[in-house]
Each structure stands twice: as C-alpha cells, then as structure tokens.
Structure 1
C-alpha cells in the first residue's frame, strides 16, 4: 500500500449510469458534465496515495430495499441501479470511474455513505482524518455524507466541480450550506496541490487544547475564498 501522508480519503458517491446518463431512471441533470473532473480527482488521489472509495447504490431485484420516496417509480417500471439493469439504467460506472486494485467499494442502502455501511470502520482502520467528497447528488447523498462526516469528526472537503445537482441554483445553495456547516470547499484544480498540511486537523487541535497542550483557538475567520477556516495554532 502506498504511503498516505495526507491521512485523507477520496469518497466518490453514486457515479453510475442510472444517475449519470440522460436516459437513466435517476438521472441528475449536471452529473455527466462532472465526469472528467471526477476522473481527474480519482487519478490525483491514486497518485498521492490517497485511498479511493467508490460508494454505490445497487437495489435488490425485488425492490425491498428501495427508498420510500422512490418505491412508486420502481413499481412503475423504473429499475435504475438494480442488479439486472443494463445500459443507461445500470449501476455500471462511467469509464475512468471504476475501481482498480487497491480501491474500495461500498454499497450504501440510503443517502449517506456512512448510513449502515462499513465506511467509518475502514476509514478509522486506515487512520483517515480527512474525507474528500465527490459525486452526485449534491443536495442528497453528498450533503448527507458531508454532515455525517462532520458529526463523526472527520475534516471534510467537498470538491465543488466534482459534484452535481439538477439545477445550478440547487448546487450553489447546497455548497454554501455545507461550507457554513464546516466543510472546506475546493475544486479539482486545487486538489492537485493537496498535501498533508492543506486541511487543518481541527478535531486533533481541539483534543490537544483540552489536554492542556495548546492555547484554545480564536473564533473562525473567513478566508479570501469565502470559506470559514479555524484559526489554528
């Protein structure tokens, strides 16, 4: 396993044909346009030794695990991301976004990548402190994963051009809300320069402060990019 000095992991959510292709039953309007940026992010992560997690949705053939809000569509004939679905309705990922040896695949039953999955266990076993989120859709699966990651005290990054929504306005306001909640927003170009010191380990700093090893930080301040960063010491 390649060394990972960043202690980060890239989590790519629901980038599969049923969500990405225009003919897919769960198509997200802007998802396909983000594929090139997502591919660059995955390649960057592998080059840096950052583990890549492909988080997918694959429904059972009988629909017994389909969300309440999607079940009517399932019964009506939309079998997107089912085990027997093919073509644009399948759970197959676009070219360049498929797992390679050393990558991880997580099947999630609901929006968040952490909900009733082994993701948190594996991240902690790997010593991960920062999660970098990409995929679709921004207001649902990316956002719920973001909030769960923050609640679990991971430093959380969202790659803004690697996630997608049905409209530009939905994309904008959800990114802003995640930023207000404590996520760090950056694009895939900035991610190419990602290193061990790019993201402050806020949780570790708080633990150190509580142990009397450092002076408590000043309140968060807004940086030139509009993101609120903690004044760490």
Structure 2
C-alpha cells in the first residue's frame, strides 16, 4: 500500500536524531534503562549509513548540574540530594563509546545552547527537558541543512523520544521512528506513535534506501 504523501519520509533530506545515548543511561549505567545498551549495534548501523550519505546527525544529550535548578521537576529532588548522573565533567555524561567521532563533550558550550560539532554535519546538542526542540536550536540546525524528515532512535521511548516526536510533528517535519533502535519500547507505544503520523521502520529498512 502506498504511503500517505504527506507522511512519506524524504530520505535524501533526512536527519538522524539520537536521544540520550549517554553512558549513565546505558543498561548498566548509574541511571541505567533496560534495553539501551542492546540497541547500540543498530544505532551504529544507522549512524554509519547517515555519515556515508552525508546526511546530518544530531546527538541529543542531557546534562544535570549539581544544583538541579534546571532539571525536570520529577528528577530535581534526586539531583539536589546528590544523585550523580550525566553531571557535567563526569565520564557518565559522555555518549556511548563509538557512537560519535569525538568522545569529549564541551559542557559549557552545550549548556549555553550551542551545538557542538563532532564531525561533518554531526553535532551534539543539549536539551534541558524531555523534548529535543524545547529551548534548543534543533529546528534552526535542521532548517540550515535543508532537513524535512527526522529519524529518531535512542533511549527510553515513553519519555524523551516520544516528547521529541510530538514536537517534530508540531513543526511539520516528516517523522520516522526506528523501532529496533529505541529502548523501553512496547507495541502499545508504537501504536500511539504511529497514530500521530509517524512512520515506523526497522534499522534495515532505514538504511536500505541509502538516506
């Protein structure tokens, strides 16, 4: 069956967005989320395909300063009481090993909202809340690269990927979720995401059109 022309991904103008794939959020990390380490092989295939095609990649990251003042309310007490995960300067806030061309993050620049260039058309970008577009320059960055399709993968579908997908739809992007490259997923979650107009596909399907 033909895809709805208003929803069909444009792979030649797509960007890959990875969400919170940081060491503290890996399955055995300080604030580990089950299944996150396990999606790394597929994320590796996705990043390799997008790099090979010269398409943009944006790695969205969290940073929780010790004062906890600019942290989601649900985690603010935890951070202010000494919870140490994705803290600036700590090894745990780094992207999963091998995911990006550069391991080190420039915390000060990221906290100022500046995209950090990691490689050709590849960036790290800090988000202060669940959604990747909220109080960030993501829309500006994507527009600058002529992107009209965003492909999401990464950590914890019910929270940050879901919020980011909703924000992308609100900005009229064509939206894709790679179902075997996102953690904490469920069939119910996939149905809800698809109901928003999101295209669901596997890693193999995402890399086969040579995005």
Q: Provide the TM-score with structure 1 as the length reference.
A: 0.75
1:80-95 equivalences under 5 Å are 80-86=85-91, 90-95=92-97
SS at match of 1:105: strand
For the 8 Å contact 1:57–1:109, the answer to whether it is kept is yes
Q: Equivalent residue for 2:108? A: none
Among 116, 119, 141, the alignment partner of 1:101 is 119
1:174 aligns with 2:189: yes
Among 110, 132, 148, the alignment partner of 2:129 is 110
For the 8 Å contact 2:50–2:57, the answer to whether it is kept is yes
| Structure number, greater radius of gyration | 1
Q: Equivalent residue for 1:71? A: 76
Structure 1 residue runs of 4+, over 3 Å off? none
Q: What is the CA-CA distance between 1:77 and the residue it aligns to?
A: 2.5
Q: What is the CA-CA distance between 1:195 and the residue it aligns to?
A: 4.8
Label 1:14 to 1:5 Cα distance change in 2 as closer, same or farther (>3 A).
Answer: closer
1:121 aligns with 2:140: yes
Q: What is the CA-CA distance between 1:156 and the residue it aligns to?
A: 0.2
- Which structure exhibits the higher relative contact order, with contacts defined as CA atoms closer than 8 Å and separated by 6 or more residues? 2
Pairs aligned (count): 185
Structure 1 unaligned spans of 5+: 197-233
Q: Equivalent residue for 2:34? A: 29
For the 8 Å contact 2:27–2:35, the answer to whether it is kept is no
- Work out the CA distance in 2 between the residues paired with 1:84 and 1:104: 18
1:7 aligns with 2:13: yes
- Work out the CA distance in 2 between the residues paired with 1:194 and 1:177: 25
Structure 2 unaligned spans of 5+: 1-9, 102-117
Q: What is the CA-CA distance between 1:21 and the residue it aligns to?
A: 4.0
Q: What is the CA-CA distance between 1:172 and the residue it aligns to?
A: 2.1
Cα deviation 1:129-166 (Å, max 9, x = unaligned): 1000011110111011111111100000000111111x
Q: Provide the TM-score with structure 2 as the length reference.
A: 0.82
